[in-house]
Amino acid sequence: MTPEAFTSPDGAAVVDAAARLRGRAHRTPVFTSRLVDRLCGAGFYFKCENLQRAGAFKFRGACNALLKLAPAQQRAGVVAFSSGNHAQAVALAAGELGIPATIVMPLDAPAEKLAATRSYGARVITYDRYRENREDIARELSTREGLAVLPPFDHPDVIAGQGTAALELFEDAGPLDALFVPLGGGGLLAGTLLASGIAAAGCAVYGVEPAAGDDGRQSLRLGRIVSIPVPRTLADGAQTQALGQLTFPIIRERVTDILAVEDEALVEAMGILARHLKLLVEPTGCLGLAGACSMAPALAGRRVGVILSGGNVDPARLASLLPRR
Ligand SMILES: *Cc1c(COP(=O)(O)O)cnc(C)c1O
């Protein structure tokens, strides 16, 4: 099925997804730190999806979408394409549900992500992300083998599943003035906006993407989906080239703004989270905090939510990125 065939999810779909995921996805903790509040100039509530199963919020969307497949399709299996975290999420959730999974992954994906995906029992097919189109590869497999394509963001059940992280944050942190959300293809941001629509109407929601790949910001300004070459950034989970047919309209209608941050700001945020919260957060997972810090003066005295979207980074690599103090 193509995304055009899907109808847009709504807030009720996020609430449904939350019920479906209970006992399957972790209800991740919300961390606070007075030291970080003082450093960054606001009252922060960190939603720790780096501690989610398979190491990122992507487990929520994948699990929700797999549970909603028709039984015959669950038997036939699924194919997913991903730069890493979606792959691991689909592989883990499908393995648990007894659904055969094939994952199309870039050749240059981090080795630990390739290995983890295989270890969950999925079949892995690699491709060159600078030359080949992963969606074409997945579609061809889908036609040949009868597999359902499970896209990483542009799917209503994936978007609804991703929104459950923010729903939990609103429940656990209480009223927030602003929420900062990492942005790649927009599944997490669109789901978050649907959740805020029903649970936190007064909360400003910002998407944050890497400056090298600010297609989301350009799309918002121009009012249409802007497509860019694969951006080169530390934020490997946000190397998407364009927002989706389903995610863009939701984002355009509801988002407060989209911010872009440099890789150096991601490294700075990664250091703050490691030193003061003892949290291992991958560069893409630091987009939200980096975005909030870039707006710091305007956030003084505010209650600010940040989604730490993933923690799949080799600790040695994280250490090598951090400047010595
Ligand atoms: C996939 C991913 C994102 C971006 O999510 P989208 O739904 O594509 O916008 C952000 N952070 C991490 C850790 C991810 O794995």
**Residue nearest atom 2 of ligand 1, based on CA coordinates:** 237
Catalytic position from the list 82, 83, 142, 196: 83
Question: pLDDT per residue over 88-103, tens digit each?
Answer: 999 999 999 999 999 9
Angle between helices 85-97 and 111-119 (to 10 degrees): 10
What pLDDT does 83 receive? 64
Our answer on whether the CB atom of 183 is closer than 6 Å to any ligand 1 atom is yes
Lookup: tokens for 102: 């094939």
Tell me if residue 209 is catalytic: yes
Question: pLDDT per residue over 136-169, tens digit each?
Answer: 888 899 999 999 999 999 999 999 999 999 999 9
The rounded distance, in Å, linking the Cα atoms of 100 and 288 is 34
Cβ-in-10-Å burial (0-12, 13-18, 19+) of 201 comes to exposed
Question: pLDDT per residue over 63-75, tens digit each?
Answer: 999 999 999 999 9
List domains and CATH numbers for the chain: 3-56+156-321 (3.40.50.1100), 59-150 (3.40.50.1100)
The pTM of the full predicted model, rounded to 2 decimals, is 0.94
Share of the chain above pLDDT 90, in %: 81
Tell me if residue 10 is catalytic: no
The whole-number average pLDDT for the span 230-258 is: 95
Tell me if residue 83 is catalytic: yes
What pLDDT does 77 receive? 97
Our answer on whether the CB atom of 285 is closer than 6 Å to any ligand 1 atom is yes
Tell me if residue 113 is catalytic: no
Catalytic position from the list 213, 244, 285, 311: 213
Report the SS3 class of residue 45: strand
Residue 129 has pLDDT above 70, yes or no: yes
